[in-house]
Structure 1
Amino acid sequence: MRQRRSAQQRRRALEFETFCAGAAGRLLHAAQLLTAEPPDAAPQAERLLTQALARTYARWDRLRGEDPYETARQQLVARYAQTSWRYRRTTGGLLDRLSPQERLVLVLRMSEGVAEEQTAAALGLPPERVHQILMRASAAMLSRHTPAAPGRTRREVATP
């Protein structure tokens, strides 16, 4: 009995290591976008990813038939949503102008390709609200990089 349990634990650990080897880079990139940390120094993103992967590993045996990447991403989103107040500092990055909620919606929809309905369900918001947040976040990013014409403000350039 003990040998069988030990073999199951080794198989579980090997499956999870294989999953991490394939998915950790993409999940870390999403975490870096959420925390707005530069790729070369991202301790908060790494901490966020570690927490998400730990929660995913704890549920690993119950994931049979489910996508482990989706579960890990959900855990990443949940950890970020619980601690997003920590990531409000400015680093000079592209996503600094966005609120944590805007950053979360933008990363899920644009970087991760999650459907609007799935994003809404994950955040507990109606799909229309997710769409509004995405449009506002996109406009904020465009207004930051669109030069204003003479006599017009950036806001006037971003809104037709």
Structure 2
Amino acid sequence: MLTPGPDSGPAGDDFSAFVGSAATRLLRTAELLTGDRAQAEDLVQTALEKAYLRWHRIRADDPYGYVRRVLVNAHHNWWRRKPWRERTTADVPEHAVAADTTEDHAQRDTVFRALATLTRRERSVIVLRYYDDLSEEAIAAVLGIANGTVKSTAARAFRKLRITPELNEARMARPVEAQS
């Protein structure tokens, strides 16, 4: 993560405090948007770099909202890249790593796979609404789309998610008291 240099003064301290408090949440948002931890880290780094350069202007307002918007825009720009640029792959290099079989990781993987079935816009709307807990109006402002487009996009995304077999299996596998 970015950290200001030793002569950065109080502004650098503010930025360091912001990064310390917001980095985990930003990383989780980016990971939900991308479905890939490495790409999520790159997106957060890009967003924090841009915020650092404008910190003197944004720190008094809503720095988290600004960085989140930069993060979403960077994610959208990634989709516009040419095919010969860096891309993630399903083939993992061979190395000795113990398999993690905890239930939390299985559920997270199920959610990532379900989100991967959505379009870029649908995924952004769902993540911003249900992970970042933004209102429809705030999502419209972040994505630069109409409020009605947010509503219709969310409805389309939920229709897709309702028919996703993995999510239905996961929901059925939970104990009855956890489903209510």
TM-score range, shorter-chain basis? Answer: 0.7 to 0.9
CA contact (8 A) 1:88 1:100 kept: no
CA distance in 1, matches of 2:58, 2:48: 13
Matched, 1:97 2:117: yes
Q: Who is 1:51 aligned against?
A: 46
After TM superposition, the runs of 4+ consecutive aligned structure 1 residues lying more than 4 A away are 85-92
**Equivalent residue letter for 2:145:** L
- The AA in structure 1 aligned to 2:79 is S
Query: 1-side partners of 2:118 and 2:88: how far apart?
Result: 9
Trace 1:72-151 onto structure 2 (pairs within 5 A): 72-85=67-80, 93-144=113-164, 145-146=167-168
CA 1:45–1:64: 2 relative to 1, 3 Å = closer
* RMSD of equivalent CA atoms: 2.4
Residue 25 to residue 61, structure 1, CA distance change in 2 (3 Å): same
Deviations 1:107-139 (A, max 9, x none): 111111111112112222211111011111122
TM-score normalised by the chain length of structure 1: 0.76
Deviations 1:16-68 (A, max 9, x none): 1111111000000000000012xxxx111000000001111111101243011
| Matching residue's letter, 1:54 | E
Identity of counterpart residues, as a percentage? 34
Q: Are the structure 2 counterparts of residues 85 and 138 from structure 1 closer, same or farther at C-alpha, using a change threshold of 3 Å?
A: farther
Distance 1:111 1:136 in 2: 18
Q: Which structure has more RCO (C-alpha within 8 Å, separation ≥ 6)?
A: 2
Q: Deviations over 1:76-121 (max 9, x none)?
A: 1111121135689778723111111111111111111111112112
The AA in structure 1 aligned to 2:139 is: T
Unmatched segments (≥5 aa) in structure 2: 1-5, 82-86, 91-108, 170-180
Residue of structure 1 in register with 2:27 after alignment? 28
Which amino acid in 2 is paired with 1:62?
Answer: R
**Unpaired segments of 5 or more residues in structure 1?**
1-5, 148-160
